[in-house]
Structure 1
Amino acid sequence: MPAPFSQGWVENIRTFARAKWYDNITVNRVQDNYVVQWGDPNYDNPEAEGETKALPEGLHAIPEDCYKTDFGNNKCTFTVPNVMDLLTTAEAAAADAEASAISAGQALLDVYGNELPSIDIENTQTSTTKEGWHERDSYAPWVEFYAGWPVAAEQANTDWKFWPVHCYGMVGVGRSYSPDTGSGAELYTVIGHAPRHLDRNIALVGRIISGMENLSSLPRGSGALGFYTEEEFDKRTPILTVRVASDLPEDEQPLFEYLSTDSETFAKYADARANRRDPFFIAPAGGADICNIPVPVRPTPNG
């Protein structure tokens, strides 16, 4: 996720990867129409009996109120590299093209200012759109795409809080009961209908932009919550290595680009998703859930 969303957890994930902690972990849970979860098979697993893996040093403990941001919450800002390193490879390609060399958080403040961002999908506008929100979402007063990411918002008194939402392919941080918020040792991705009831209850840190089929097609677990039982040990897919892409040699770094969600092309794409006009459809829906408008992402040549 780009700043200022979930940055404490994002930095933890970099720490795990650079410590090679993720190497040789496994996929431990596959719950149909819900999530695939991976990590240490002996951590917070009702089906496991082994010892847990020691965590690396330097991890952040992130408070629950960092699930949301007001774009100026310094408590949820952590020491990280420049804004380009905060972006996923998809966002980085677009940000390079735009030469947006502004500080993390300031990018959103410039948009936020004294007015909320305006809706950029014309066919979902309502009479309150110019105020910066609309009421077509069941889980939040307002939803929108920010820099290619699906986000939601609510107003409390005069302040607005924003958060990313649980769409298909989004990656979240597993946790125990409150006040635990998770470290990043356990991660999951959504493989079914968007579980939006998890929004603001678990940190979202990114999304899968390539290879999703390798996770969604895994055999389902028969244990509690879809965990693999000890008898299903052979179903636990090993994860051999995890590396930070920006740490790789430049010619080995995977590059992606996304369709700008501020563009006229994206507005037309969103309209097409909401109003199917091909011959098969009899009654176009006239609208679309934010999770039913996946932002197109594609690989780009490296070199």
Structure 2
Amino acid sequence: MTRVALLAAASLLLTAQAPAPTPATTITDPGSVLANAPADDWRPVDIENIVVFETTRGRMVLELAPAFAPMHIKAIRQFVAEGRFDGGAITRVQDNYVVQWAARPRPADAPALPIPLPPLPAEYEMPAQGFVFTRLEFADPYAEAGFIDGWPAGRDPRTKTVWLAHCYGMVGVGREAPPDVGDGTELYAVIGHAPRHLDRNLAVVGRIIEGLDAHASLPRGTAALGVYAKEAERTPITRATLGTNLADPPRFEVMDTASASFARYKAARANRSGFFVRPAGGLDLCNVQVPVRRATAAQQPR
């Protein structure tokens, strides 16, 4: 067989193996997908997993993810219930990285806690068994990427573990150098390009689902790593409240990442039309941006 014939045969083989392109008629814009998603393709955010932080800048609503860091989240709930975050402050805003806040320090002469918290484990990843993982169709440089119950996640088939990814808005627990794992009194939210190198190195406990914009735009700290050098630069936390303790808690819904609507949403984000001259034909884990919406009166439980 001549070289030309070999090349022609190889071309035919590659053509035969290439997946058929998705018909343009099946791709719509992301907004239309969300507008037409049936109610069953959304899951309500459990009020037990809501924490509202009120600051002098506004308020942030945190959705906790207890399946991924149960002991850290137990500690956070206890600190919120005790009022430890009341009087705390935003202590750090680093450009294109994180906004970080802290509970007020516990006085040295304070009485012992009625239920002392045990030392926390390094909840950086969890056994994959029992989690339903919806794999992202596109390659990821960090891990096998996908989604678990509305959360952006990574998976390692070798270690059989899963973890939450450091996408925009995700919240983790600040800590010192190992073996410290953090105690839940210092939290940070991602406000820039996803620092995925942090995955599996800190406990990720949830995400901010409302109010991050007002705090991501705070002045950047001028000390190292965006820390506020002066007390006056900090934004005070006036109150933090568990959702179960609110008379009228905010209600939210997250798109079911195992649903047909979410599959269409991913396809629409990967194959943008209209304004776009050259659609990317792909997207990374954190660019998907799992949809979260306020629940309407008709959608709220009665």
The TM-score, its normalising length taken from structure 1, stands at: 0.71
Residues of 2 paired with 1:197 and 1:229: CA distance?
27
Query: What aligned pairs does 1:107-256 form with structure 2 within 5 A after superposition?
Result: 108=130, 111=132, 117=133, 119=135, 124=137, 136-140=139-143, 142-156=144-158, 159-230=159-230, 233-249=231-247, 252-256=248-252
Residues of 2 paired with 1:254 and 1:243: CA distance?
12
Task: Name 1:81's counterpart in structure 2.
Answer: none
Task: Name 1:269's counterpart in structure 2.
Answer: 265
User: Which has the greater radius of gyration?
Assistant: 2
Alignment gaps of 5+ in structure 2: 1-63
CA contact (8 A) 1:28 1:41 kept: no
Quote the offset at 1:283 in angstroms.
1.6
Task: Name 2:95's counterpart in structure 1.
Answer: 32
Aligned counterpart in structure 1 of residue 289 of structure 2, from 275, 280, 294 = 294
Quote the offset at 1:259 in angstroms.
1.5
Quote the offset at 1:22 in angstroms.
0.5
Quote the offset at 1:225 in angstroms.
0.8
Residues of 2 paired with 1:53 and 1:183: CA distance?
20
Partner-residue secondary structure (3-state), 1:241: strand
- 2:23 paired with 1:20: no
Residues of 1 paired with 2:109 and 2:278: CA distance?
54
Quote the offset at 1:276 in angstroms.
1.0
**Distance of aligned partners of 1:71 and 1:59 in 2 relative to their CA distance in 1, 3 Å threshold:** farther
Q: Provide the aligned length of Structure 1 versus Structure 2.
A: 233
State the one-letter code of the partner of 2:79.
Answer: F
Residues of 2 paired with 1:52 and 1:296: CA distance?
44
Residues of 2 paired with 1:53 and 1:163: CA distance?
38
Q: Deviations over 1:17-72 (max 9, x none)?
A: 011101010001000000000114779xxxxxxx88979553242222x3111146
Partner-residue secondary structure (3-state), 1:17: helix
Aligned counterpart in structure 1 of residue 116 of structure 2, from 58, 61, 66 = 58
State the one-letter code of the partner of 1:13.
Answer: I
Task: Name 2:278's counterpart in structure 1.
Answer: 283
**Distance of aligned partners of 1:238 and 1:53 in 2 relative to their CA distance in 1, 3 Å threshold:** farther
Task: Name 2:31's counterpart in structure 1.
Answer: none
Whichever structure has more strand as a proportion of its residues is 2
Quote the offset at 1:118 in angstroms.
5.1
Quote the offset at 1:222 in angstroms.
0.3
Alignment gaps of 5+ in structure 1: 44-50, 73-107, 112-116, 126-135
CA RMSD of aligned residues (A): 2.3
Task: Name 2:6's counterpart in structure 1.
Answer: none
Residues of 2 paired with 1:293 and 1:118: CA distance?
13
Residues of 1 paired with 2:286 and 2:223: CA distance?
29
Task: Name 1:259's counterpart in structure 2.
Answer: 255
Quote the offset at 1:253 in angstroms.
1.6
State the one-letter code of the partner of 2:121.
Answer: P
Superposed structure 1 runs of 4+ greater than 3 Å apart: 40-43, 51-57
Quote the offset at 1:8 in angstroms.
0.8
Quote the offset at 1:247 in angstroms.
2.7
**Distance of aligned partners of 1:53 and 1:247 in 2 relative to their CA distance in 1, 3 Å threshold:** farther
Q: Structure 1 residues 254-263 or 204-213, which shifts more?
A: 254-263
Q: Deviations over 1:260-295 (max 9, x none)?
A: 1111111111111111112x2222111101100111
CA contact (8 A) 2:145 2:154 kept: yes
